[in-house]
Amino acid sequence: MRESYSLKENFSIEKVKKNSWGGSSVYFFEGISYPLEYFLAVKESMASVKKKRRAKIARHKRKKRRRRDRHKKK
């Protein structure tokens, strides 16, 4: 049984169930297995990166708007 999770483009992990009768699931990233907690931590940091990028874009938009208004014909 395989599921694939994708945290962002080009970053996906494979969930592989060890055996069909229960047992723990293993998560693989680029062929190396990791505990799930590791991915949850990564996912958190991804979110903060996205948030930072959005903030940066918003800052730039505000700057652009101010610059545009300054040069508008009155």
At 3-58, the pLDDT tens digits run 555 555 455 556 555 544 444 566 666 666 666 666 666 667 777 878 888 999 99
- pLDDT for position 21: 47
Q: Which domain holds residue 56?
A: 2-70
The pLDDT of residue 63 is above 90: yes
Which range is least confidently modeled, 20-24, 58-62, 63-67? 20-24
Q: CB neighbours of 55 closer than 8 A, spacing ≥ 6?
A: none
pTM strictly above 0.85 = no
Question: How do beta strands 11-17 and 2-8 pair?
Answer: antiparallel
Number of domains in the chain: 1
Q: How many CB atoms lie within 10 A of CB 38?
A: 13
